[in-house]
Amino acid sequence: MASIAVILFPGQNCENETKYAVDSVGMKGDIIRWNSQKDLGKYDGYIIPGGWSYEDRIRAGVISAKDPVMNIIKNEALKGKPVLGICNGAQVLIEAGMIPGLKDEVEMALAPNINPFVKGFYCAWVNLKVSANKNCAFTKLFSEGGIVPMPIAHAEGRFTTADKTLLDKLIKNNQVAFRYCDKDGNTDNKFPINPNGSLYNIAALCNKEGNVMAIMPHPERASFNRQSIANDKTKYDMEMPLSARKIFESMKMFIDEFNFS
């Protein structure tokens, strides 16, 4: 059975539902505190969950990104092991330079939201369009162009960069995993379709190798029908999986298919 370390930094608060989503697809999730690094390399994959690590001081995710445990996770990712960062976890991966991962340095930022109605934290259900499926460990079970509902809950989730050539590289490398869209798949850049002003409507990016992904929406909060705002108890099985669960199922498939030793 594939084993997943859910890395818990001080201030994060989504570790339990992330572990539950991992366990529900036939993997074994362990919640590992950031300072419990012994035997961390034994795991088949890693997830950094959402929350407010170190109270988002300085910038969201930056303190966690500098923690020694991230050196271990970087080294395991170089072996091909999958690493998923969700919301605050995505911010950590960006600040650690693991995403987009084209250089050994920070190339992007997850900047404060640009939203005409709410300044700061914004929570809502959004739609994502699958932009890269076969290249990324976390989208293998999706059909390209498919639409996936997920909730967002963040204040700093706007993918942006000062490098004017970077977006073209990301598109060429097929690194844009999910883009914000409407229910019909249209990727208009205006609010509310793009809920935070993210460059190219980016909701999730993977590295060039495809084994590391940073996603701002919360798939662990959209893995079962009972979590959906559209849920109708008279028509649906409450435990029927929503399509966001395929992110964790794809992670399992990726691990099952590859040997990281």
- Nearest-5° angle of CA 234, CA 236, CA 241? 160
Q: Which of 76, 107, 206, 218 is catalytic?
A: 218
Residue pair 43/3 in contact by the 8 Å Cβ criterion: yes
212-230 burial: b if 16+ Cβ within 10 Å, else e: bbbbbbbbbbbbbbebbee
Q: Which of 14, 87, 136, 206 is catalytic?
A: 87
Q: Where are the beta strands (DSSP E) in 87-210?
A: 109-111, 122-130, 147-154, 158-160, 176-181, 202-206
Q: Where are the beta strands (DSSP E) in 71-211?
A: 83-86, 109-111, 122-130, 147-154, 158-160, 176-181, 202-206
Among this protein's residues, is 218 annotated catalytic? Answer: yes
Q: Which of 15, 95, 220, 249 is catalytic?
A: 220
DSSP structure class, residue 46: E
Annotated active-site positions, please? 87, 218, 220
